[in-house]
Homo-oligomer: A and B are copies of this chain.
Amino acid sequence: MKIFLAQQNYHIGNFEHNTAKIIEAIKEAKHHNVDLLVFSELCICGYPPRDFVDFKDFIDKCFQAIDAIKPYTDEIGVIVGAPDRNGAIEGKDLFNSAFLIYQQKIQGIAHKTCLPTYDVFDENRYFEPAFNWNVIEFKGKRLAITVCEDIWNLGHNPLYRVCPMDKLMEQKPDIMINISASPFDYTHDEDRKATIKSNVIKYNLPLFYCNGVGSQTEIVFDGASLIFDREGNLCKQLPQFIEAIDGVELNDDGTIDEPVIEPAVANAYSLLEPEHLSETLNIPQIHDAIILGITDYFGKMGFTKAIIGSSGGIDSAVTLALACKALGAENVTAVLLPSEYSSTHSVTDAEQLSITLGNLYHIVPIKTVYNSFLTLLKPIFKDLPFSLAEENIQSRIRGNILMAMANKFNYILLNTSNKSELATGYGTLYGDMAGGLGVLGDCYKLQIYELAKYINTSKEIIPLNIIDKAPSAELRPDQKDSDSLPSYDILDKILYQYIERLQGPAQIKALGYESHLVDGILKMVNANEYKRNQFCPIIRVSPKAFGVGRRVPIVAKYLG
């Protein structure tokens, strides 16, 4: 039996687009004489559809899309993901389901049991978990079809009380098929392979795993669909971050005649662990995920052109380089907005960067506008000393100029804030925190230096001076980040323990960090929730990004 996987990039709620893509893949698979073609989770509507599924109209459109696909299934079995209605009186009204369509009919439907409701996931908000389980017959084989999280309930402390594959095994299936929408983060590629292999070993069955690809607002899906034979050998791995359709011939005895792939050994170090020990931090993968995040944000929103405030600092430099790569330098405009506190090298470095990248740039000094604000506010501010207010006025003037140009020329402002400053509140709301998409908001400063080096691998794209100089907001004379913040080498590691590792103050101090430093940093993180709450979506590359996956009360007093 020839089984192929179609990892595709869907547009949420765009049924016409998604259905056309699915039909196109079916046609291509037919050319390869494929018996069974597997798509990803909720491919019909795109994942995650969020509260759209609360609309009857939206669910009706999902069923209409399935009907539109049926005529193409005379000679080929197709597994698609879509919401299904729950016929039972009790419980939520929808399931998250896999539909096997063949010979123009729905041959069987498998509902998802393990509904992820943590981090960026809200599935229990919408769906009822499956409460009975059946294999689905196809061409004489018994398929155990599961959806994404269903095969992740392993380990010594499983999150769910029911393991659907255990239930399905009672019916002696021949093949495991899993349709997924499993987001990228820099640990995920390894976790995924290990988890899928564990299932193969546990159940002694081949496993066909199809994951979606593409970025959906903040969440990047990386594809990398997999096929394992029943011995636990990886037989096929679809590429990461791009669409693909591929598969294997599965022999009757569950074996697969393909050369075994040795999974690539990941770049197993971490800048963020105290001892650079256990975590993986895959800079090339992070780079590619961000590129896809930018490309899909623009493509799916119908935009082509970006604008970026280019300060001569490393964050805006890396953002600009990534934007030029994602959108083409001809679609990116940089604006240098020097103030009286900007150093000369800020302008020259930023100019050099744009010259190298080949993008359009403007220099718009903000001094005259800044002075007009000071004059206007003089009767109110009187002779009060220079303070945060004046710093923020400058930053917000820049935000206003960038947004005005964006509005005038139909650009999207890309935000350059990094995770370290978002965590500590070291940024100005409506100023440098403005923008439509946070390109680097899930990368700590240390990671941004690594990204800069990676971008410079074969050529000095980002001027070395930008990488080497001390970070500064340049909003008052001789300001340095280190005036207000601990060194990033310490700050980032403490933040990482708190944010990604969910370690409390005592646990972090036990790693050897100074008590007042830990308390001060954790307090800053919690006190600045109000700022992050008004921040744009951030391209997620870590297991715990700010935004939809991290939900912390704004009005609270914990560790503060």
> Are A429 and B403 closer than 8 Å at their CB atoms?
yes
> Are A558 and B400 closer than 8 Å at their CB atoms?
no
State A506–B60 Cα separation when bound (angstroms).
12
> Are A217 and B554 closer than 8 Å at their CB atoms?
yes
A333, closest chain B residue (CB) = B380
Interface flag for A373 (CB, 8 Å)? yes
> Are A504 and B551 closer than 8 Å at their CB atoms?
no
Measured between C-beta atoms, what is the minimum distance from A533 to chain B in Å? 7
A119, closest chain B residue (CB) = B125
- Return chain B residues, CB-CB under 8 Å to A159: 91-92
Interface flag for A405 (CB, 8 Å)? yes
Total residues of chain A contacting the partner, CB 8 A: 99
Interface flag for A369 (CB, 8 Å)? yes
Measured between C-beta atoms, what is the minimum distance from A521 to chain B in Å? 15
Which residues of A162-192 have CB atoms within 8 Å of chain B's CB atoms? Answer: none
- Contacts known (A369-B376, A393-B400, A399-B396); A55 close to B502, Cβ less than 8 A: yes
> Are B13 and A373 closer than 8 Å at their CB atoms?
no
> Are A58 and B533 closer than 8 Å at their CB atoms?
no
- Return chain B residues, CB-CB under 8 Å to A57: 504-507
> Are A12 and B557 closer than 8 Å at their CB atoms?
yes
- Contacts known (A553-B49, A556-B52); A400 close to B403, Cβ less than 8 A: no
> Are B380 and A407 closer than 8 Å at their CB atoms?
no
- Contacts known (A376-B369, A380-B405, A535-B534); A430 close to B400, Cβ less than 8 A: yes
- Return chain B residues, CB-CB under 8 Å to A558: 12-14, 52, 58
Which residues of A379-412 have CB atoms within 8 Å of chain B's CB atoms? Answer: 380-381, 384, 387-390, 392-393, 396-397, 399-401, 403-405, 407-408
Interface flag for A51 (CB, 8 Å)? yes
> Are B429 and A408 closer than 8 Å at their CB atoms?
no
Partner-contacting stretch, out of A296-304, A317-325, A446-454: A296-304
Measured between C-beta atoms, what is the minimum distance from A203 to chain B in Å? 18
Interface flag for A434 (CB, 8 Å)? yes
- Return chain B residues, CB-CB under 8 Å to A362: 380
Residues of A at under 8 Å CB distance from B?
11-14, 17, 46, 48-52, 54-58, 88-93, 117-118, 122, 124-125, 128, 131, 156-161, 215-217, 296-297, 300-301, 362, 364, 366, 368-369, 371-373, 375-377, 380-381, 384, 387-390, 392-393, 396-397, 399-401, 403-405, 407-408, 429-430, 434, 436, 502, 504-507, 530, 533-537, 548, 550-560
